[in-house]
Amino acid sequence: MQVAKTINEMRALRKKMQGAVGFVPTMGYLHEGHLTLVRESRAANDNTVVSIFVNPTQFGPAEDFKKYPRNTEGDLAMLAKEGVDVVFMPSSEVMYPVYYSTYVQVRKVTDRLEGASRPGHFEGVATVVAKLFNIVRADHAYFGQKDAQQVIVIKRMVEDLNIDTEIVVVPTVREQDGLAMSSRNVYLSKEERQAALVLYRALVLAQQNWSNGINDTETIRSEMKKLIESEPRAKIDYISIASPDTLEELKEVYQGAVVSLAVRIGKTRLIDNIRLGLSKL
């Protein structure tokens, strides 16, 4: 496994690759969810590139950029074990030099949910992903369904900007008790970790209600809200039942609709989602 820390190094390694190239962009502090993406890439491509870059432009002023968990040595050991070919690990100075002034905006679909709660977040995401796609020039890029809105934003950007990389979406990887794997789970105390299961329970409830013939979104949302509010450590940011293409809120639910939520457990903000009738729970 080779490690590139500059754009020129990454491009030089890319030129030597023959066959299909898969790419997994990450912010490091890897867990089984990331490794699942890596395995999907390795199974379908001749070469796999993983990036590790904690992107400062997608964090708001009050968010946890400096505290975001990092474990470079452990990450590299895991990726080597998985048979990754190249790890691209640039610094902020490499990605955003002194006079950097170009940003990518994806409109409409970023106006709601995470975009509304975290202004500027998706501009940072779209910008760094566009840069990484231009540098790595992968045939396929792998993203987890857990970040459903991010996937929709990136797909929109790729189509609008004619980027020649296919986006592959991999189902959310969960702990045995249902909690979606996330690097931010490390922030949770033992008690908060248990309380965080209310997100999964609320999504299961939504799926059950829809399976039982309830297709009114307000009824499903109300039941989810009641369940989450029964957990004293939980504070709801949003509960959404939306179109999988536009993320516009629906009045009536149908198969494939995105049920997503953001909930604070103590000081930790967690997100999760399912596609009704399509996600495995």
The residues assigned a catalytic role are 34
CB 234 within 8 A of CB 263: yes
Q: How far is CA 168 from CA 29, 64, 83, 151, in A?
A: 21, 28, 20, 9
Question: For residue 252, how many other CB atoms are within 10 A of its CB?
Answer: 9
* Residue 218, beta-bridge partner list: none
Cβ neighbours for 185, distance < 8 A, ≥ 6 positions apart: 179, 193, 196, 268, 270
Place of tokens 């379908």: 44
Q: Record the tokens describing residue 262, joined without a space.
A: 């953001």
Q: How far is CA 110 from CA 74, 115, 117, 260, in A?
A: 33, 5, 10, 14
The CA distance from 75 to 29, in Å, is 6
